[in-house]
Structure 1
Amino acid sequence: MSTRDRMLGLTVVVLWGLNFLAIHAGLEHFPPLFFAALRFAIMAIPVILFVPRPNVPLKWFLLYGIGFGTIQFAFLFLAMDNGMPTGLASLVLQSSAPFTVLLCVVLLREKLSARQIIGITVAVGGMAIIGIDRAAHGATAAVLPVMLTLIAGLGWAFGNIGSRLARPDNALHMTLWMCVVPVLPLYALSLAVEGPRAGWDAMASVGSHSGLVALGGLAYVVLLGTIVGSGLWTYLMSRYPASKVAPFSLLVPIVGLTAAWAFLGETPTGWELIGGAVVILGCFAGLSAKRAAAAPDTPEEPEPVAQEGAAGVDRVVLQSRL
């Protein structure tokens, strides 16, 4: 990978790590489910008008959109709104990686390598450390946001399965068109859970200080977190083997935790840091595939997006982000 593309990878890491701060800002003003619907609605309108629709099977496209878009963001935003620390959310969401591998085994009957089994076991152990530590400090109320975030990670994993089975010719176009799917389900959930007035009352007071900050967070999520971040990520994924690009995303929780500490005063406990390190180590060990080494600082020839790792999930585990 060239030095320039390494810098692009690190740029994506920073954009996605700071994305959790932007989500936090939005949730300070908007109800979580309404904010999630609003985030996708803003994306959906220009996508329908200007982006070519991907030619993929509808059922796999809907699985991608419902899993990655609806389930992931509904439960992630609910978790953060119910007390999930911003930095810790960026870490626990990494559970999508081992979830994806396990779903490929259960649903697609793919085989696990010994390295992947060890990696998943280590990652699950790290999640257990975090859950036990949260329970010790806050009983059930502290564990609930972690469980909601794990469900979000599972939703992302189902979205990965849909993305893999759809096999789009243009991954960015499908990522953008995915934004069309969650709008109505999320808004319906908002009406049912938050009430018909909650979101619109928040819109009516959007000129307040918290409202303007929330709009700034929304703009960041849409423009930098999604368009720029996903665009650069798709470029890298199309240019290099997935096993060379995917490990960059494991740095996202480091940026998320650091940013939450610097800007929000969130200080993770020692056991949470240990658990986080174990999770990242497990994800890296379980999802990295052995590839032939390329010449240093030399771009590789683009390869088909269907090329995958040992469990067939290299390409999709970290294809798109928040």
Structure 2
Amino acid sequence: MPLKHILLAILVAASYGFAFVAIQAGVGEIPPLLLTGYRFFFAAVPLVFFVGRSDVGAHWLIAYGMMQGVVMFGLLFVAISLGAPAGLASIVVQMQVFFTILISAVLFGERPGPAQIAGAAVALAGIGLIGWSRVESAPLMPFLLVLVSAAAWGTANVIAKAAKPKKMLPFVLWSSLAAPVPLFVLSAIFEGTTFGLPPHLPSLIGFGSIAFLAWPTTVFAFTAWVFLLRKYPAAMVTPFALLIPVFGMGSTALVFGERLGPQAALGSLLIFFGLMINIFGPRIIRLRPRRF
């Protein structure tokens, strides 16, 4: 991967990481499913009318928009609104790396190497430790919702890879149109809102949250992420998500003073270490001198 694409992947990770501050701030004012719907509505409108039609079929656009917008982000926003610390969520959701590799292996024959399997085992141990800490200290449901959200992200990555869009921005914008209506309906059912309308006028913080989630995080980061997934193997691209919790946990600690308990902190380190093994393990194996 050339340097410019490495820098692009890092910038995408930063956008995703800082988004957890915007999510935490946004769900404090706007019901989470409604906020998710606003995110994708304003990501698509009005830009979708100026970029031309996507070059992939409507079924791919709907599948990606529903999985990424409704399932993945809908569950993530709900989990944070229910008490999942945003910084912790930023690292647990990175289990999407291993879900992506697993699903890609099943569907595309991209077999994971020994380092990827070892990394997944270490990360799963971290997930188990965090789950144990949540049982003892806080409700388990928000943590489980983040984990399901990670699986949905991995599925969305594979959908984007299978769709093979040649034009990334139209793909992201048109697929974003699939998310708002289902999210507004779900919000009306489960959050008691009027279809697409907030319960009260958001503050500047609420508007800022929507704007950041819609444009830097969705329009830019999604477009760049799909571009990288299409150009390179999933096992090469998705490990850059390792940087998302660095930006996410750092920014939420700075803005909200968020701190993790000992078990959750250790579990987070194990997930981080598992991702490190996934990234650097294959290179170490290739560089290791062979014995004859």
- Is TM-score (shorter-chain normalized) higher than 0.5? yes
Percent identity over the alignment? Answer: 31
Residue 18 of structure 1: aligned partner: 18
Unaligned 5+ runs, structure 2? 284-292
The CA distance in 2 between the partners of 1:134 and 1:238, in whole Å, is: 37
Deviation at 1:108, TM superposition (A): 5.4
Q: Which residues of 2 match residues 304-315 of structure 1 at below 5 A?
A: none
SS state of the match for residue 46, structure 2? helix
2:171 aligns to what?
A: 174
Separation (CA, whole Å) in 2 of partners of 1:216 and 1:164: 31
Distance 1:2 1:112 in 2: 23
State the aligned residue count. 283
Contact 1:79–1:148 (CA under 8 A) maintained in structure 2: yes
User: Is 2:146 the counterpart of 1:160?
Assistant: no
Amino acid at match of 1:227: V
Moved more, 282-291 or 219-228: 282-291
The alignment's C-alpha RMSD in Å is 2.8
| Structure 1 match to 2:287 | none
Which of the residues 250, 255, 258 maps onto 1:258? 250
CA contact (8 A) 1:68 1:157 kept: no
Q: What pairs with 1:79-228 in structure 2 (closer than 5 Å)?
A: 79-106=79-106, 111-138=111-138, 141=139, 143-197=140-194, 200-202=197-199, 204-206=200-202, 211-228=203-220
Tell me which residue corresponds to 1:276. 268
Where does residue 60 of structure 2 map in the other structure? Answer: 60
- Alpha carbons 1:247, 1:288 under 8 Å: kept: no
Q: Distance in 2 between matches of 1:289 and 1:170?
A: 33
Q: Report the TM-score, using the length of structure 1 for normalisation.
A: 0.78
Q: Match of 1:52, as an amino acid?
A: G
One-letter code of the match for 2:172? Answer: T
Contact 1:104 1:161 in 2 (8 A): yes
Residue 259 of structure 2 aligns to a residue in which SS?
coil
TM-score calculated relative to the size of structure 2: 0.85
Q: Residues 290 and 173 from structure 1, CA distance in 2 versus in 1: closer, same or farther, beyond 3 angstroms?
A: farther
Deviations 1:260-295 (A, max 9, x none): 11110110123222211221232343467958xxxx
Name the structure 1 match of 2:75: 75
Alpha-carbon distance in structure 1 between the residues aligned to 2:226 and 2:161: 14
CA separation of 1:168/1:201 partners in 2, compared to 1, >3 Å: closer, same or farther? closer
**Are the equivalent residues in 2 in contact too, given 1:243–1:288 (CA < 8 A)?**
no
State whether residues 260 and 266 of structure 1, in contact with CA within 8 Å, keep that contact through their aligned partners in structure 2.
Answer: yes
